[in-house]
Amino acid sequence: MRRLLYAVPLFLLFSTSALAQEPAAPPAGSVSRAADGAPVCGLGAEFHAGRRVALRESLKEGVLVLRGLPPSRGNLTFRQDKNFWWLTGVESPNVAFAMDIESGHEVLFVYKPSAWKERWEGEIWDSDDAWVAELTGIEDVRPTADLLDVVEEMLGLDTSGEAPRRLWTNLGAHIGLAGSYDSAGPYDRARAKDPLDGRISREKAFAAHLEERFGREVHDCWKAMSQIRVVKTAEEIAAMERAARSGALAMCEAMRSCRPGLGEWDLDALLNWIQARHGADGPAYAAIVGSGANSLVLHYNFSARRMRDGEVVLIDFGPEVDHYTTDITRTFPVNGKFTDRQAEIYDVVLAAQAAGIATARPGSTIADVELACRDVILEAGMQEFMRHGAVHSVGMEVHDPGSMRGELVPGMCFTIEPGLYEDATGIGVRIEDVVVITAEGCRVISDQAPKERSEIEALMAEKGVLDWVDGRSNR
At 71-96, the pLDDT tens digits run 888 778 889 999 999 999 999 999 99
Task: Look at residue 9 and tell me whether its pLDDT is greater than 80.
Answer: no
Task: Look at residue 2 and tell me whether its pLDDT is greater than 70.
Answer: no
| Residues 6+ away with beta carbon under 8 Å from 217 | 167, 211
Output the CA torsion sign for 462, 464, 469, 475. negative
* Residue, of 339 and 7, whose pLDDT is higher: 339
Q: Residues 464, 268: contact at Cβ < 8 Å?
A: no
Side chain identity, residue 456: I
Task: Look at residue 163 and tell me whether its pLDDT is greater than 70.
Answer: no
pLDDT (tens digit per residue) in 231-249: 999 999 999 999 999 999 9
Side chain identity, residue 305: R
Task: Look at residue 29 and tell me whether its pLDDT is greater than 80.
Answer: no
- Architecture of the domain defined by 234-469: Alpha-Beta Complex (3.90)
Residues listed for the chain = 475
pLDDT (tens digit per residue) in 430-439: 999 999 999 9
Helix (H, G, I), strand (E, B) or coil at 426: coil
pTM: 0.91
Closest alpha carbon to 141 in 150, 132, 154: 132
Q: Which CATH superfamily is domain 20-228 in?
A: Creatinase/prolidase N-terminal domain (3.40.350.10)
Rounded CA separation 67/108 (Å): 10
H-only helix segments in 340-385: 340-359, 366-379
Q: Residues 158, 165: contact at Cβ < 8 Å?
A: yes
* Residue, of 11 and 45, whose pLDDT is higher: 45
* Residue, of 357 and 124, whose pLDDT is higher: 357
* Residue, of 186 and 452, whose pLDDT is higher: 452
CA atoms within a 13 Å half-sphere pointing along the CA-CB vector of 287 = 32
Side chain identity, residue 51: R
Rounded CA separation 382/345 (Å): 8
Mean predicted lDDT score pLDDT of the chain: 91
User: Domain map of the chain by residue range?
Assistant: 20-228, 234-469
Output the CA torsion sign for 260, 264, 267, 269. negative
